[in-house]
Amino acid sequence: MKVLVLLVAIIVGAAHECHGSEHGASFQIFPLRMKTGSGGHYIPEVSCASWRLGVEAHNVIEWKTVPLSCEGYIGNYILGDQYRSDSKTVNQQAYFYAKTLNITAKDVWVFDIDETSLSNLPYYAQHGFGVEPYNATAFNEWVELGEAPALPESQKLYKKLLSLGVKIVFLTGRPLDQKTVTVANLKRAGYNTWFKLILKDTSIYHGKTAVTYKSSERKKLEEEGYNIIGNIGDQWSDILGTNTGDRTFKLPDPMYYIS
């Protein structure tokens, strides 16, 4: 009996400790302890979480691939509830904001496509979740299938914005020659209507960054008299630059970086 009680105590203790490690801290709030010097132990999950936060808050920039040691962490994140929950929070904030506005016929909302409206997870799950360098040939083969599923939380926002009377503009880095498959994929995934679908004219924007291309296309929209009331994307390059819109929303994407 004593052994049992002891073991139960260990189980409870372990669960407790462990629950605590969810936040990289013991679960009980312990007295303030600011470590000085080079001390402090950093377990991989803690560091990979910091890397991901660094990416999302635009502190870690211009990176080529996910750190090799973070493949498992990013895979778990992106396939799990946290990615879905993080996406939901961003889209909810966007809707709470949109709801407060008096929408006119000139109001548009800009949606990026990849990892914003459509998910390429079926591709990335087969390619190391961003650990492998970008392979244009393989990725374009996937895009040509036209099978990317909707990101469900973004799609909810899309539908709510439509019902508020907001015009939807898709603005994507996909090249013009992927227009047919992109239209088909959007419709297949449940995005049935939009005001404009803007793909990248590589004869104009060859070698230009996404920031330059997207800023330029948003400027055209505003010159045509439209107000960009909102702008949502998974890359900072979707929402930086000029004519960014009245409010911007950054969806999570720890798998790749586009400047």
Applying the rule CB under 8 A, the residues between 92 and 131 that interact with a second copy are: 93-94, 119, 121-122, 125
Regarding 191 and contact with a second copy (CB under 8 A), the answer is no
Cβ 204 to a second copy, closest distance in Å?
28
Q: Which stretch binds a second copy (CB under 8 A): 19-27, 106-114, 133-141, 209-217?
A: 19-27
Q: Are strands 167-175 and 227-233 parallel, antiparallel or unpaired?
A: unpaired
Per-residue binder mask for a second copy (CB under 8 A), 132-171, x = binder: -----------------xxxx-------------------
Q: Which is it for the CA torsion 56, 149, 204, 224, positive or negative?
A: negative
Site for a second copy in 31-60 (CB under 8 A): 32-37, 40-43, 45-47, 49-51, 53-54, 56-60
For residue 30, give the amino acid letter. Answer: F
Alpha-carbon span 98 to 102, nearest angstrom: 9
Q: Which is nearer to a second copy, 88 or 196 (CB)?
A: 88
Residue with the two structure tokens 């996910």: 66
Alpha-carbon span 254 to 74, nearest angstrom: 7
Regarding 3 and contact with a second copy (CB under 8 A), the answer is yes
For residue 12, give the amino acid letter. Answer: V
Cβ 177 to a second copy, closest distance in Å?
27
Question: Bridge partners of 111?
Answer: 170, 232
